[in-house]
Structure 1
Amino acid sequence: MGDAADYPQYHQHVEYSDESSLNTLDVCIPHHPPADRKQLWIIFIHGGAWLDPEIDSSSFKKTQDLLLASHHAATIAGLASLNYRLSPNPSHPQHPSNPSDPARNAKHPDHINDVLAALLYLQGTYHFEDRYVLVGHSCGATLAFQVAMKRYWGSQYESTFALELNVVPPMTVVGVEGLYDLPALVKHHSGEPEYRDFVSNAFGSDERVWAAVSPTSGEYEESWPDGRLVVLAHSREDELVEWEQVDLMQRALKAQGWGGRRDERRLELIELKGKHDQVWEEGTELARAIEATLGLVEAMV
């Protein structure tokens, strides 16, 4: 069992499936597991446009250190940061992808299937059920909401989501500098072809698919009936993802009853500071968003 001196415990590059070398996760157990069921897990999904090999699970390290030193540390049962297969990126200047590498040739639904497999592994290992906050940055926010969306993207994908039947959705989702409406994102950046390129790279060229997989299209009343809290954290200084994405997601959630009673289906907006990647590179703003979320959850339970 160990004593206080044995904690925190860190487990890096834990394999959660054998699909590829990127099917790993990092885990931190801050202290001896208590009997207090009010403690929460924090699970982080990194961004990087589904294809950047230089952004991985280690991007949560600075934020994790800040959380472990915060006054919320006692309420955290565990922290995990997920890797997942990436879409092809053969033109990357330092780490071009190889067509024979399964870790770098993912297409939807590979990314979300990996996230579901990682969650299933964590829930099976640590038995926290829905007692977790699922946090995603940029396209990681897309993936976090897709967990809550479950199979509600159109019948053509339903057969691929066997895993989601066994994954317990989170009680809270936190989107940070998130991509919530992919057609709107590409349209807003019509003069920057790289946006269409990375969306097509991950989801194909059919814009109907982009709309179906976008978090703004989620039917959360059906797919996530036990969801308690959504937090949208975004900086107006973000040079890559415009505030319009937040507005569109807020509108979609409010249309489904989020943001009403303060103890039920709560919707909160946290305005961050800094550029798109700065919020996780420095860790301070990402940690602030998570700490604020923990405070909200504590007040709700």
Structure 2
Amino acid sequence: MFVNTPHHQFVRTFYTIPHHVLQSITIWLPRPLDYSPIKSTIWIIYVHGGAWRDPECDSDQFIPTVNYLSHASNQDTMSGIAGFASINYRLSPYPDHTRNGSDPQDAYRNVQHPAHLQDVVQALEYLSKHFLIDAYGWIGVGHSAGATLLTQLLSDVDIAALPKNIQRAYLGLHSLILIAGIYDLPRFVRNHSGADSSKTIKDIYMAIVTGAFGQDPLLWVAPSPIHRNFGMENWPSLRFIVMARSDQDQLVEEEQNNVMDVALRAQGWVGERESDTIPERQIWRRSLSGAHDDVWKTDGGQIAMLIEEVLDRLLENVDRGEVYGEEVGV
């Protein structure tokens, strides 16, 4: 299926059989893949938010950002991008959604963790097998629950025991751009359950977390990314983790970034300006503007600028003056 936008054309592909829109990837190639040099271009892979359950949040969240980067004024940035992919995944129940409540019989809208994460892993495996994201390398961009999913990938799994395409996809990750992520699930519920929170707010946050992770609060601890392994043994190519958020974000508090920062530092990560040398594994903190969803809506420029900054650092020693007219034999 094709989704036309002002500057380009997306192609939707499915990574499971039977095909379902909630297990699909929206892909755009700025040029035929064979014309993107492996050594000087990289993939940008987006995972959307929506509290693991919102049917109106999907891979199209990334369209404003891709449109922004596709503008003629950003061609230097585009010369370093092999392709974009935006991943859809199955959703948790949301029966009281005002326009599109979930049917209890719909197997694709009644899942719990780790089903969302399994879908993201399957999508990465597909992208490795068919679009060579492992060879090119990739930058992961996640908003809200999407940021959580990307950091949940960083687990204590035995990489050598994984299927080869998943192994290769994991090893190709160079940077994460995490926007308004949720990294401590018990804290997320607790921070919206105090005396200053209305019953409506308390019920919403409880429903979000119990719907995605179960009723027992003990089940919320292990999936929280602050307890994941961000060590080099699993992600040898991962150099930068960018945590960005707007002070006007009304849904996810800054404390989530703060506790994630502490967890990363405990595993050897450092701030970008805290060493006389350039450390291999840096935490970047960035400020955005607008409400929770404004950061990806409007013109997409805020996420685009984060991508540009990371891309410039990753490719700063690469000569991008190559002519994209010769096949590179991928």
Give TM-score scaled by structure 1 length: 0.88
Match of 2:230 in 1: 220
By how many angstroms is 1:231 displaced?
A: 0.7
CA spacing shift, 1:186–1:300, aligned 2, 3 Å:
farther
By how many angstroms is 1:98 displaced?
A: 1.0
User: In the TM superposition, what are the counterparts of 1:1-301 in structure 2 within 5 Å?
Assistant: 10-12=10-12, 14-18=13-17, 20-32=20-32, 33-69=35-71, 70=74, 71-129=76-134, 131-149=137-155, 151=157, 167-169=169-171, 170-190=173-193, 191=197, 192-221=202-231, 222-259=233-270, 262-282=278-298, 283-299=300-316
Asked if the contact 2:128–2:168 (Cα under 8 Å) also holds between the matched residues in 1, the reply is no
* CA displacement, residues 53-103 of structure 1 (integer Å, 9 cap, x when unaligned): 011111110111111222311100000111100001111111011122122
By how many angstroms is 1:227 displaced?
A: 1.8
Asked if the contact 1:8–1:31 (Cα under 8 Å) also holds between the matched residues in 2, the reply is no
Whole-angstrom distance in 2 between the partners of 1:209 and 1:165: 27
Whole-angstrom distance in 1 between the partners of 2:42 and 2:95: 39
CA spacing shift, 1:201–1:112, aligned 2, 3 Å:
same
Asked if the contact 2:154–2:229 (Cα under 8 Å) also holds between the matched residues in 1, the reply is no
SS at match of 1:240: coil
SS at match of 1:195: helix
Higher RCO, 1 or 2 (CA under 8 Å, sep at least 6)? 2
Match of 1:155 in 2: none
* CA displacement, residues 194-242 of structure 1 (integer Å, 9 cap, x when unaligned): 1121111001123233121111111111433432111111111111111
Give TM-score scaled by structure 2 length: 0.81
Q: Aligned pairs, how many?
A: 287
SS at match of 1:67: helix
SS at match of 2:153: helix
* CA displacement, residues 158-192 of structure 1 (integer Å, 9 cap, x when unaligned): x9x87855642411111011111111111111132
CA spacing shift, 1:273–1:292, aligned 2, 3 Å:
same
Amino acid at match of 1:176: I
Aligned residues: percent identity? 38
By how many angstroms is 1:145 displaced?
A: 0.8
Aligned residues: CA RMSD = 2.2
Amino acid at match of 1:139: A
SS at match of 2:296: helix
Q: Tell me, which stretches of 5 or more residues in structure 2 are unaligned?
A: 1-6, 319-330
Of 239-248 and 256-265, more deviation after overlay is shown by 256-265
